[in-house]
Chains A and B, each alone.
Chain A
Amino acid sequence: MTLPALSPLSATGSRERLLAALNHREPDRVPFDLGSTQVTGIHVVAYQNLRAALGLPPVTPTLCDTIQQLALPDDDLIERLGVDVRGLFPLNSHNWNIVDVDQGEAWEYHDEWGITHRRPKDVLYYSVVKSPLAADPLTPEAVAAHPWPWTGDPRRIAGLRELALAYRAQGRAVMVKGVLAGIFEMSQRVRGMQALLMDLAADERLACAFLDKMLELKLAFWEMALPQLADVVDVISEADDYGTQTSQLVSPRMFRKLFKPRLAALFARLKQLAPNAKRFFHSDGNIRPILPDLIEIDVEVLNPIHITATGMEPAALKRDFGRDLAFWGGGVETQSVLPFGTPQDVRDNVKRNIEALAPGGGYVFNTIHNIQADVPPENVLAMWEALREGGAAH
């Protein structure tokens, strides 16, 4: 394939561009995120392919997330593509003390939560295969007695303040993520998804023991980290997955009763600890019915805008929620178009999504899900070119 003529874009103004967009003003062009979080990133295989397609020299990529095999984009690629935001990745079970054990056909490792992850050697991803609190009967007291990780350990953010300052000096905006998955998702991992879902419906006291513990562990991390980082970060990311492609994993009624009050406590504390940072929240799938709830509890930025899920059509979302939420993602459909479409399909899709989401600001471009290993680099470049063309108008 022929190399596209890409001109390096100056980082000058990246941070201002991102902040303007998040403050619902149209910047000079649509800001671009690639790799600032574990939900807006790129698989190491796709990353290597993209580097080669751009003519960038081979590197041994740093993984910012071993479970998902996500590459931390290098400076030269950030510069080349004009990525506007860099991410801080505190140390956690996805990137710290990962000791793979060779189990013959698969790699396995046991993380700080007591979870066993497994990746068959011919497979791209790790999956949770054993949860520490899966056995029944289980009591809330046993949940409390589990040896939970010390999320408040200051080693988790060692060096991140300096890194944030360096990114700022380059002109970029800075994102910081937490050290555990969402209250719901992390509970699923330690209990087992099926078991936790059943607990929610049949044993609320037990389910709430998990949800309360996850909130406590999140607060312990942010109360340690934000006094060190609040003045050098622009966006704080939190995540949890409540949507499915057609509906929600739990009813909006259950969400409001069990999850919303805990998320409200989390966001209120983030607001106290880092009043100047934007609060970003990720949930896949159709979460339209709970968007008013998220707005009510001070979520400011929504990711990933799962545009093909029921109820998540971008123009309608922009119309109904665009005053209250900035959208971060939704730039290209990642289940069919980006991996399997032609470069022209990708361009058309990007153009349509930008036209729906970018007018008036309140939009940061990213894919809907991490760019996976099977995505052809020419499609990533087509995405980028379409962003550069369409994004300049907004």
Chain B
Amino acid sequence: MNEYIRAVYEGVLNGEGEATTTAVAAALQAGQGPAHILTDGMIAAMAEVGRLFEQGDYFVPEMLIAARAMQAGLELLRPHLVQADIKSSGKIVLGTVKGDLHDIGKNLVGMMLEGAAFDIVDLGVDVPPQKFVDAVRAHQPQIVALSALLTTTMPNMKATLDALTAAGLRDQVRVIVGGAPVTEVFAQKIGADGYAPDASRAVTLAKSLVAAA
């Protein structure tokens, strides 16, 4: 890793937005390739953030500021990525199911997935099944990710899966679920394709599903 890429990497890892954008600008100026800056600077840093989170060194605040720094850097980098025709890891439609207004878990999952170079279509909170169906038609994602915080809204994950089936779209997408009361057993019971207990592991799950597709 050269000094330009290392500065991007450390900016993201330490959650320093200004340092990250300065480093991205300097790297571009020095002729570093946008894909190189993205992959070896930002994505590698977010992978390290995930690793530190899983091993209990980083907690949600550190993860959030790292994601914020990455987004700041990405903003600057994005036009260059488009120009260089860099492909994303895949597209993911994400939302908190109908009846549930909680969003921080979903946002964190979205940020970490973005940090692994996925394109995220965030439908927000209290998302009715039909809206997921419409989004799958409109965006053609590889994955639909459903979040619920409440025991009382978990059944709407099943309702969303049923709506995708009824619309004939279930075979086109892998559906992953998560949120406080959600478990592996529940995920299997409702016929979801995967479950992850936290944002970092959601990235691992999404990558493996896309790789297997």
Residues of A within 8 A of B (CB): 118, 120, 122-125, 127, 129, 193-194, 197-198, 200-202, 244-251, 254, 334-336, 339-340, 372-374
Q: Identify the closest chain B residue to A117 (Cβ).
A: B101
Q: Identify the closest chain B residue to A334 (Cβ).
A: B151
| 4 closest Cβ pairs, A-B complex | A127-B101, A201-B61, A197-B61, A335-B181
A-B pairs with beta carbons under 8 A, tally: 68
Residues of A within 8 A of B99 (CB): 120, 122-124
Residues of B within 8 A of A334 (CB): 151
Distance in angstroms between the alpha carbons of A123 and B102 in the assembled complex: 13
Distance in angstroms between the alpha carbons of A316 and B65 in the assembled complex: 35
Residues of A within 8 A of B150 (CB): 125, 372
24 sample A-B contacts, Cβ–Cβ < 8 Å, listed by A number: A120-B99, A122-B99, A123-B99, A123-B100, A124-B99, A124-B152, A193-B104, A194-B104, A194-B107, A198-B64, A200-B61, A201-B61, A246-B198, A249-B61, A251-B62, A254-B59, A334-B151, A335-B151, A335-B180, A336-B151, A336-B181, A372-B150, A374-B151, A374-B152
Judged by a CB distance under 8 angstroms, whether B115 is at the interface is no
Distance in angstroms between the alpha carbons of A246 and B181 in the assembled complex: 12
Distance in angstroms between the alpha carbons of A373 and B99 in the assembled complex: 14
Residues of A within 8 A of B183 (CB): 336
Q: Identify the closest chain B residue to A373 (Cβ).
A: B152
Q: Are B181 and A249 in contact (CB under 8 A)?
A: no
Interface residue count on the B side (C-beta < 8 Å) = 24
Residues of B within 8 A of A (CB): 15, 56, 59-62, 64-65, 68, 99-102, 104, 107, 126, 150-152, 180-181, 183, 197-198
Residues of A within 8 A of B68 (CB): 198
Q: Are B107 and A118 in contact (CB under 8 A)?
A: no
Q: How far apart are A111's CB and chain B's nearest CB, in angstroms?
A: 16
Residues of B within 8 A of A373 (CB): 152
Distance in angstroms between the alpha carbons of A334 and B150 in the assembled complex: 11
Q: Identify the closest chain B residue to A203 (Cβ).
A: B65
Residues of B within 8 A of A202 (CB): 15, 65
Q: Identify the closest chain B residue to A207 (Cβ).
A: B61
Best-buried of A120, A129, A198, A372 by chain B (most CB within 10 Å): A198
Q: Are B101 and A250 in contact (CB under 8 A)?
A: no
Q: A123-B126, A198-B64, A336-B183 are in contact. Are A372 and B59 (CB under 8 A)?
A: no
Q: A123-B126, A336-B183, A374-B152 are in contact. Are A201 and B62 (CB under 8 A)?
A: yes
Residues of B within 8 A of A372 (CB): 150-152
Q: Are B102 and A127 in contact (CB under 8 A)?
A: yes
Q: How far apart are A123's CB and chain B's nearest CB, in angstroms?
A: 5
Q: A198-B61, A201-B15, A246-B198 are in contact. Are A129 and B101 (CB under 8 A)?
A: yes
Residues of A within 8 A of B59 (CB): 247-251, 254
Q: Are A250 and B60 in contact (CB under 8 A)?
A: yes
Given contacts A120-B101, A336-B181, 5 further A-B contacts (CB under 8 A): A123-B126, A194-B64, A245-B180, A249-B60, A254-B59
Q: A125-B150, A372-B152 are in contact. Are A247 and B56 (CB under 8 A)?
A: yes
Q: Are B61 and A118 in contact (CB under 8 A)?
A: no
Q: How far apart are A131's CB and chain B's nearest CB, in angstroms?
A: 12
Residues of B within 8 A of A249 (CB): 59-61
Q: A120-B126, A336-B181, A336-B183 are in contact. Are A197 and B60 (CB under 8 A)?
A: yes
Q: Identify the closest chain A residue to B58 (Cβ).
A: A251
Distance in angstroms between the alpha carbons of A127 and B100 in the assembled complex: 9
Distance in angstroms between the alpha carbons of A223 and B150 in the assembled complex: 36
Q: How far apart are A42's CB and chain B's nearest CB, in angstroms?
A: 14
Distance in angstroms between the alpha carbons of A202 and B100 in the assembled complex: 29
Residues of A within 8 A of B197 (CB): 245-246
Residues of B within 8 A of A127 (CB): 101-102
Q: Are A339 and B101 in contact (CB under 8 A)?
A: no
Q: Identify the closest chain A residue to B125 (Cβ).
A: A127
Distance in angstroms between the alpha carbons of A383 and B56 in the assembled complex: 36
Residues of B within 8 A of A198 (CB): 61, 64-65, 68
